[in-house]
Amino acid sequence: MNILFRGGRVFTPDGVVAEAVLVRDGVIAAVGPERELARLPHETVDLDGGLLAPGFIDAHMHPVQAGLERARCDLSEVFGLDAYVGTIAAYAAKNPDKAWIDGGGWDMSAFPNGLPHRDQLDFLDRPAYLIQRDHHAAWVNGRALELAGITAATPDPPDGRIERDAGGAPTGVLHEGAMDLVGLLTPRPSAQDLLDALARAQEHLFSLGITGWQDAIVGSYAGSDDQLPTYVAAAGSGLLRARVVGALWWDRTRGLDQIPGLVERRAATEGLDRFRATSVKIMQDGITENFTAATLEPYCVCGGTGLSYVDPVELRRYVAELDRHGFQVHVHAIGERAVREALDGFEGTNPANRHHIAHLQIIEPSDVPRFAALGVTANLQPLWATHHAQMDELTLPFLGEPRASWQYPFADLIAHGARCCAGSDWPVSDADPLQGMHVAVNRTEPGGSVHAGYPTAQIPFLPAQRLDLATAMTAYTAGSAWINRSPAGVVEPGRPADLVVLDRDPFELPPGDLWTTRVRMTFVDGEPVHEQG
């Protein structure tokens, strides 16, 4: 079957051009003038003045976890203590037989100093475990602490922290590795629950024009279960239509002894059409807001330089061995010390393995050129690069200058020749790539976002680091396709027809209106997987 996309413009490697695209049997057959392509028998998709682009590919997200949270107590669509308590109470009343109240999506900036308290959940008649929006902390009530045996005498785990009051009593916030102290006690989802979560997530992502992604943690972490069997089952049954790479979780409590197991897990995905587990995820530090991001100099006021979850010397050994086994290494690095440790770890590795570092909130300027020099891709999460409450109230006061000006240096990375891909970290933040592009171009909050009404939300955040729209869209398409070794991500003959039709041409909009663009249709292999209702 032939499909002719006409009546708008097309985003290609050569830029935005006024051409048509012909798809034959799920593959892009030709890109050119409509008068030539229309000579063949075809069905027509009228772009109606909108833009045809490659399907977006998210280089860092957690869709199974997102799908589970959307089916549980979901706090991501509301903001503030009163709204959270009201949502939690309504969920508890609707689910009287649930042994636990679990879910997540709360925002640190809704609480003084970013910290909720167990007392705020003690109205519940059962234990509660609610994961922070960033997935670096959990909010629990007194009943949950009691079941876990957490008291003032409980030591902090090596990779986490139990928040405490002045007397040492736990306050109900568990940071990083301490989340498992309660999280592992929560009811385990069934295999069907996980498949349903993936199906829900895929449907949502298709509605946003996302046709592929890299799942940034495939393994057991922070109370979540291993998703590898879920992906294998979904790919084998045909449920999984998107093109997905899984980043296998590196257990930071172990060392090189886990590599044979990772090789076996990778082998379990060989031969699957839609899923491969060819990447390994190493989390090198935490986040700035709870002072676990690894910094070179102490945080202002509070002191301390954060946490390196993997010893930097050992990190080099681990990365070298993973590289030798042909794995791509995907590192979480927020603080400038963690970024440097990750770059040091990639010294001497094979660029053909397409290693990348995600988040990159703070990069010491001398490290920016090292990305291109080492062949390491910068994995950007643009939505975070704005003035919002978490940035202005919980980050900037503790970073100080010049470090605060080193944040999210997207333009500097491009200027120094770094290859870039992009993602959302969903459900940490909105999965919509068009909202991410808006921030990459404007460095302001998109209209309609939860932070859009914040007093400084429309003041550009470090505006010298803006990207042009073509560069941002390339990061979400060809850049992320390259990281995933996906055959899609580009509109050119011979590529799979993974395509997205936008309701307007964002290249013709004022930059401040980019966020208003919506997805009309999404195609995978030339078949529609989403049509706007």
Which domains are assigned to the chain? 2-55+493-531 (2.30.40.10), 64-184 (3.10.310.70), 191-484 (3.20.20.140)
Name which of 202, 268, 203, 213 is nearest 243 in CA terms: 213
Q: State residue 133's pLDDT score.
A: 84
Name which of 351, 347, 407 is nearest 381 in CA terms: 407
> What tokens were used for 5?
């996309």
Pairing of strands 43-46, 73-74: unpaired
> What tokens were used for 329?
């290494």
Residue type at 503 in one-letter notation: D
Question: Is the overall model pTM greater than 0.75, yes or no?
Answer: yes
Q: State residue 18's pLDDT score.
A: 77
The overall longest dimension of the chain from CA atoms, in Å, is 79
Cα 482 off chain centre by: 17
pLDDT of the chain, 533 residues: tens digit per residue: 799 999 999 999 888 887 899 999 999 999 989 888 887 778 999 999 999 999 999 999 999 989 988 889 999 888 899 999 999 999 999 999 999 999 988 988 889 888 999 999 999 999 999 998 888 899 999 999 999 999 999 999 988 899 999 999 999 999 988 999 999 899 989 999 999 999 999 999 999 999 999 999 999 887 688 999 999 999 999 999 999 999 999 999 899 999 999 999 999 999 999 999 999 999 999 999 989 999 999 999 778 999 999 999 999 999 999 999 999 999 999 999 999 999 999 999 999 999 999 999 999 999 999 999 999 999 999 999 999 989 999 999 999 999 999 999 999 999 999 999 999 999 999 999 999 999 999 999 999 887 888 999 999 999 999 999 999 999 999 999 999 999 999 999 999 999 999 999 999 999 999 999 999 999 999 999 999 97
pLDDT tens digits, one per residue of 169-213: 999 999 988 999 999 899 989 999 999 999 999 999 999 999 999
Lay out the sheet containing 170-176: strands in order across: 73-74, 101-106, 128-132, 137-140, 170-176, 160-164
In terms of residues, how long is the chain? 533
Q: State residue 443's pLDDT score.
A: 98
| C-beta atoms surrounding 54 within 10 Å | 32
Cα separation, 521 vs 100, whole angstroms: 39
Q: Which helix (H) or strand (E) holds 280?
A: strand 275-283
Q: State residue 224's pLDDT score.
A: 80
Q: State residue 296's pLDDT score.
A: 98
Exposure letters 162-187 (e unless 16+ CB within 10 A, then b): bbeeeeeebbbbbbbbbbbbbbebbe
* Contact partners, residue 100, CB within 8 Å, separation at least 6: 126, 127, 128, 129, 144, 186, 187
Beta bridge partners of 139: 130, 173
Taking a C-beta distance cutoff of 8 angstroms, is the pair 494, 30 a contact? no
Cα separation, 519 vs 208, whole angstroms: 6
Cα 263 off chain centre by: 24
Q: State residue 34's pLDDT score.
A: 87
Cα separation, 433 vs 422, whole angstroms: 9
Beta bridge partners of 170: 164
Taking a C-beta distance cutoff of 8 angstroms, is the pair 66, 423 a contact? no
Q: State residue 37's pLDDT score.
A: 84
Q: State residue 177's pLDDT score.
A: 87
